[in-house]
Amino acid sequence: MENAFSILKQWVQESRRIVFFGGAGVSTESGIPDFRSTDGLYHQQYDDPPEEILSHSFFLRRPEDFFRFYRAKMLFLDAKPNAAHKKLAQWEREGKLSAVITQNIDGLHQAAGSERVLELHGSVLRNHCMNCGKFYDVQSIVRSQGVPRCDCGGIIKPDVVLYEEGLDTQTLREAVEAITQADLLLVGGTSLAVYPAAGLVDYYTGSRLALINRDATPLDQRANLVLRGKIGEILAQL
């Protein structure tokens, strides 16, 4: 571990176009549970499987139940950025990092000061009426009961990519562009279980692909460097 850490430290010092690709494991040190760890959201018991509730067809079929789950389990508005978010924002300010590509919807990278954040799965902070397109902030969802309605009567839908929905093509395009230009691709806090997000890593053709994750991932064999541990703690020391 010490050896891998010192190599990563050197790579970071030499890099000018770091790209970070992360997932829910980046926010667990901010108190937001991830999905697939043993204490993750998908291992908690519900009357319906969480991955089914978070799907487009469930949203349309049972919006009341969707929003009950969403308000209870998907909003962590008191969460604060942790050392991982802060270090990435610092590297961007120093001109070392060109983009954060995240699967998270919590807005913590921006809260830490990151500006170039590509949110592959959207954000709970942005919500729009499905009928007239009017924007609503997250408080409109928190303060409302049941299915949140726009002034025009339409349903207010969070800008979060649900299962069965596609990712924003412009965001995907920018993520591919950033990764192909990266001199160091740092992947962390993600099980790399969900596509097309996980497939983005394949666009990196360099030889400095570093992985920081608490558990093993399918990328471990392909990565040039693997650090096993808590990403906030590790980035704080880099």
CB of 9 to ligand APR, least distance (A): 17
Cα 160 to Cα 103, 116, 127, 138: the distances in Å are: 10, 18, 8, 12
Contacting ligand APR within 74-113 (CB under 6 A): 103
Instruction: Give CA angle at 101 (157, 130), nearest 5°.
Output: 10
Cα 31 to Cα 28, 60, 80, 107, 216: the distances in Å are: 5, 30, 8, 14, 21
How many whole angstroms from its chain centre is CA 219? Answer: 17
Is 85 tagged catalytic? no
- Residue closer to ligand APR by CB (options 25, 107) is 25
Contacting ligand APR within 114-133 (CB under 6 A): 121
CA distance 83 to 27: 10
Burial of 184: CB neighbours in 10 Å, binned 0-12, 13-18, 19+: buried
Give the residue from 74, 87, 83, 85 showing the smallest Cα distance to 32: 74
- Residue closer to ligand APR by CB (options 117, 150) is 117
Contacting ligand APR within 192-221 (CB under 6 A): 193-194, 213-215, 217
Total residues contacting ligand APR (rule CB under 6 A)? 24
Q: Contact between 230 and ligand APR (CB under 6 A)?
A: yes
- Residue closer to ligand APR by CB (options 29, 92) is 29
What tokens were used for 58? 């469930």
Q: Contact between 40 and ligand APR (CB under 6 A)?
A: yes
Single residue of 15, 25, 101, 150 touching ligand APR by CB under 6 A: 25
Q: Contact between 165 and ligand APR (CB under 6 A)?
A: no
Window of 60-68, 70-78, 177-185, 225-233 that interacts with ligand APR by CB under 6 A: 225-233
- The one-letter amino acid code at 212 reads I
Binding mask 167-186 for ligand APR (x = CB under 6 A): --------------------
Q: Contact between 23 and ligand APR (CB under 6 A)?
A: yes
Give the CA radius of gyration of the chain: 18
Which chain residues interact with ligand APR by CB under 6 A? 23-25, 28-29, 34-37, 40, 103, 121, 189-191, 193-194, 213-215, 217, 230-232
Residues annotated catalytic, as ranges = 121
